[in-house]
């Protein structure tokens, strides 16, 4: 086993940058970075580099951006690098011909305490489900997604008011430190992998779709509050206000029996805008109406004139 492994790092978004930075600061030899191809973005559809690519360029690291991971030309380039270990953080699914290539295997950092919350959106679903804690797991890649043997885990609490964005920012740092500990253990030969144990109470973390984000006002107020937290800042939970789509980024629970039907709203047009659930109100505090900028509710209400004939959501959401 090498005393200083040759590492290839695979990742794309800003979440992965913290891990790459920590690995480099720990003195490990990152010989190349694999990230997504540049993509058009913004109004001008200019080609935009991933957060990992921007960081790797600053550090002078070799960068590969394959369109397809099964491309024989890319795999030959990968093989020629002679890596001892591959690290994957917020990347894509790898074919076995890639993840099985290095002698120390391929290690993935996942944003949950596996086997709980396997899937694409573990941070979102942990908050949506009202979990009081979450964590990170390093594990060895194998065929089925997020099922490989566990190397290390670390956990931390989820504050009652934390959004998915808040948890993301804590997790990227906790995960970065855990990855360095994992590489330390693999390098020293002291880390043993433990197979995941499935059970009947596993919670999953599938991809978030538009229908996930539409608020059902017939649900308990705490469930709605958690949905809003779990989808903030992106893609954001939404409802309708006088027929226009309204994204909600932050809210508060008001525990009192509403005098209006679920989904209907009440406002003094100055300080509050609240929507009724069966067992309380959701008082929205940070919102974005269709065609408008995101703003605090007090600012929004200065220019808002409610439609008395349409005070609630469309019938399909009531």
pLDDT tens digits, 255-309: 999 989 999 999 999 999 999 999 999 999 999 999 999 999 999 999 898 886 6
Give tens-digit pLDDT for 221-237.
999 999 999 999 999 99
Pair (225, 184) in one structural domain: no
Domain that holds residue 271: 212-317
Is residue 98 domain-resident? yes
**Per-residue confidence (pLDDT) for residue 42, from 0 to 100:** 76
Average pLDDT, the chain: 94
**In this structure, are residues 176 and 129 in contact, taking their beta carbons and an 8 Å threshold?**
no
Q: What is the mean pLDDT of residues 122-136?
A: 98
Is the C-alpha dihedral spanning 10, 213, 117, 232 positive or negative? positive
Mean pLDDT in residue range 126-150: 95
Residue 242 pLDDT: 93
pLDDT at position 309 is 63
Rounded to an integer, the average pLDDT of 126-149 is 95
pLDDT band at 1 (very low <50, low <70, confident <90, very high): very low
199 located within any domain: no
Kind and range of the H or E run holding 180:
helix 164-188
Please report which confidence band the pLDDT of residue 318 belongs to, taking 50, 70 and 90 as the band edges: very low
Answer whether residue 4 shows pLDDT above 90. Answer: no
pLDDT on residue 178? 98
Q: What is the pLDDT of residue 308?
A: 66
16 and 165 housed in the same domain:
yes
Count structural domains, the chain: 2
User: Which one of 188, 223, 245 terminates a domain?
Assistant: 188
N residues, the chain: 318
Let me know if residue 197 belongs to a domain.
no
Query: Same domain, yes or no, for 33 and 170?
Result: yes
Residues 152 and 15 grouped into a single domain: yes
My answer on whether 79 and 178 are in the same domain is yes
Q: Are residues 171 and 262 in the same domain?
A: no
Residue 193 domain-assigned (yes or no): no
| Alpha-carbon span 272 to 308, nearest angstrom | 17
Tens digits of per-residue pLDDT, 239-255?
Answer: 999 999 999 999 999 99
Query: Is pLDDT above 70 for 314?
Result: no
Together in a domain, 150 and 183: yes
CA 56 from centroid of its chain's CA atoms: 22
In CATH, what number is assigned to the domain containing residue 15?
A: 3.40.50.170
Q: Confidence class of residue 46 from pLDDT cuts 50, 70 and 90?
A: confident
**Of 60, 98, 58, 67, nearest in space to 81 by CA:** 98
Q: 79 and 46, same structural domain?
A: yes
Query: What pLDDT digit, counting tens, does each position of 75-100 carry?
Result: 999 999 999 999 999 999 999 999 99
Stretch 140-151: mean pLDDT? 93
Nearest to 121 by CA among 209, 185, 216, 58: 209
Give yes or no: residues 23 and 159 share one domain.
yes
**Residue 250, in any domain of the structure:** yes
What per-residue confidence (pLDDT) applies to 249? Answer: 98
CATH value at residue 226: 3.10.25.10
How large is the average pLDDT for residues 147-167?
A: 98
CA distance 67 to 205: 26
Does 10 reside within a domain?
yes
State whether 100 and 219 are in the same domain: no
| Mean pLDDT value across residues 179-204 | 95
Q: Is residue 95 part of a domain?
A: yes
Q: What is the rounded CA–CA span in Å between residue 105 and residue 41?
A: 34
Are 245 and 152 part of one and the same domain?
A: no
Using the 3D structure, point to which of 188, 223, 251 is the last residue of a domain: 188
Same domain, 32 and 161: yes
- Considering just the CA atoms, what is the radius of gyration of the chain in Å? 23
pLDDT for the residue numbered 306: 87
């Amino acid at each position: 086993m090498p005393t200083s492994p040759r590492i290839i790092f695979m990742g794309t978004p800003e979440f992965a940058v913290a891990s790459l930075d920590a690995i480099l600061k720990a003195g490990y030899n990152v010989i190349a970075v694999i990230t997504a191809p540049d993509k058009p973005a913004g109004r001008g559809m200019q080609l935009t580099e991933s957060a990992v690519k921007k960081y790797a360029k600053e550090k002078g690291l070799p960068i590969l951006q394959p369109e397809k991971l099964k491309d024989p030309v890319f795999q030959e380039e990968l093989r020629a690098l002679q890596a001892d270990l591959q690290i994957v953080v917020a990347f894509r699914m790898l074919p076995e011909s890639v993840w099985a290539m290095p002698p120390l295997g391929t290690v993935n950092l996942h944003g949950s305490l596996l086997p709980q919350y396997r899937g694409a959106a573990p941070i979102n679903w942990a908050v949506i489900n009202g979990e009081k804690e979450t964590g990170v797991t390093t594990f060895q890649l194998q065929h089925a997604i997020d099922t490989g043997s566990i190397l290390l885990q670390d956990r931390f609490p989820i504050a009652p008011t934390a959004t998915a964005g808040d948890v993301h920012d804590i997790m990227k740092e906790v995960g970065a430190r855990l990855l360095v500990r994992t590489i330390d253990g693999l390098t020293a030969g002291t880390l043993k992998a433990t197979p995941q144990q499935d059970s009947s109470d596993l919670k999953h973390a599938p991809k978030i779709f538009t229908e996930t984000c539409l608020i059902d006002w017939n649900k308990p107020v705490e469930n709605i509050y958690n949905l809003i937290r779990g989808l903030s800042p992106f893609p954001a939970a939404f409802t309708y206000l006088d027929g226009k789509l309204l994204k909600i980024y932050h809210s508060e629970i008001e525990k009192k029996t509403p005098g209006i039907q679920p989904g209907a709203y009440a406002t003094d047009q100055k300080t509050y805008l609240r929507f009724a659930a069966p067992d309380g109100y959701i008082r929205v505090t940070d919102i974005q109406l269709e065609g408008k900028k995101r703003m605090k509710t007090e600012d929004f209400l200065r220019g808002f004139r409610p439609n008395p004939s349409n005070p609630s959501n469309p019938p399909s959401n009531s």
